A and B are shown apart, each in its own frame.
Chain A
């Protein structure tokens, strides 16, 4: 908890929520992603059309952060239950979904995400088991391919910010430049990497992620020191606006159990 009375995780959730605009068709994952999304709905985007990748529509979590995206905490007030093919296929792969929020164990300078595993060194041509197995793609790959834009939420640590992900689970801008374009994805790629220290955004030509902003409690130098590539900064890079009392109150109404207040 900072002197200002909010945690880094809360700042990250608020900064992510600010990326969501009213009326958008949005898909949220479990955990931080859902908190950021429902914060936006509570604070400035009351008409956001939220769904989960299981096909739960019209629901607001009750009794605390859902344990999963189909948990009873998000199934107690839904207006429609359908299925994965509907949510991830008909509504995301089709190109209809405006924005998705995804997490990352590792992210690289072109916004590619790894959530599959950690290997020591290069994996090599053949399959070999990871040193640490992570949860895999889930719907994040589908959201990264299909949503009009994605916001990546990740704790800012050097081990997570790599020059190149060891395993590319969900595509950002691949090798940068126009390399994503040749796959013909419906989705446009990540518009921001929002972290516990600041916000990075892609350079319009190279698609490399540059420093866009830092928080009241962080700095450009601290962000550079925690980023595994030579991080450049936009000329317009600045400090983000501190969370307002209204924002914090809205976030804490959503985060009833205080998951974000426990400083990691």
Chain B
């Protein structure tokens, strides 16, 4: 396979992140597919002042906020669904350490779409008439948030949404080949739009497959290689969240993590154990616990991966594919 873009997680973060950048991830839902491990590596490498753009919050944003890596956030939802408030994010907002600009979930998808299409703005009738339109955490920057605009056809006033074009998007996918073609199982949420809106895309895949897999299921490859800069292979990349077909949500760690991020001491301890507590993928899986990895992998959704299994590249064969053209 030519055009290999497979690089290590550490190298991906070194090459594709910098202090102050507009960083997008979490284009999945709060307990599902997100490149949570990319956020752990951002913290390990000490990135600061990130302008985070997350369609919906996830444990990644919760961690980045608790670790003080984020200065401002734009998102549509800032909780962890049934797991409750995202305590790290919540604390950073309440203490004023972080500015959170609120939109709705449709508004964030529309703003990615606007960025992908390079539209000057996106017209819509959602969010108008509410405090999502009238109140801005970024008001100090002097830019309107959702200014009213007149529909030239009906004459009525609607909302103008600013498009998003993040510097980098770290997108979790289920399967990728080394060129960057990617398949997402489960809802895409807004990963399709984000992959076109971002200036650079890094995909983080739970498994690497031979390109023949993509040739068998081209309709399912919603992120094609031509828009992908780098591919990272990292099983359990969304842990403790779920990856449909691959593993279930780790309920115990979701609770433990969110509880830890509720205090400074808990956060320091969490960073020590679960962010700096591994050196490589083997160490990461040891940290989760091999037994737990087994249990979480026995998902009711496992059958979703069955059509693709024959193309999954065994981990021991990946070393030879790494960094060919990177």
Contacts and interface: CB of A to CB of B under 8 A. Distances in A.
A236 B158 CA distance: 38
B188 A83 contact: yes
B166 interface: no
A68 B31 contact: yes
B78 A133 contact: yes
A65 B81 CA distance: 12
A212 interface: no
A33 to B, nearest CB: 11
B106 A174 contact: no
B15 interface: no
Which 10 residue pairs are nearest across A and B when measured between Cβ atoms? A135-B79, A68-B31, A54-B187, A68-B81, A141-B104, A142-B106, A138-B77, A88-B106, A76-B300, A83-B188
Contact of A81 (B31, B125, B157, B188): B188
Contacts of A62: 300
Contacts, number: 212
B125 A185 contact: yes
Given A31-B81, A83-B187, 5 more contacts: A53-B105, A62-B300, A73-B300, A82-B187, A146-B126
A26 B100 CA distance: 30
User: What bracket does the count of chain A residues touching chain B fall in?
Assistant: 35 or more
B212 interface: no
Interface in A114-145: 116, 123, 126-127, 129-142, 145
Q: Dominant SS at the A interface?
A: loop
A55 B77 CA distance: 16
Nearest to B243: A72
Interface string A154-185: 00000000000001111100100000100111
A137 B132 contact: yes
A83 B190 contact: yes
A186 interface: yes
Interface stretch (B87-95, B268-276, B282-290, B316-324): B87-95
A85 B131 contact: no
A134 B76 contact: no
Contacts of B56: 138
A56 interface: yes
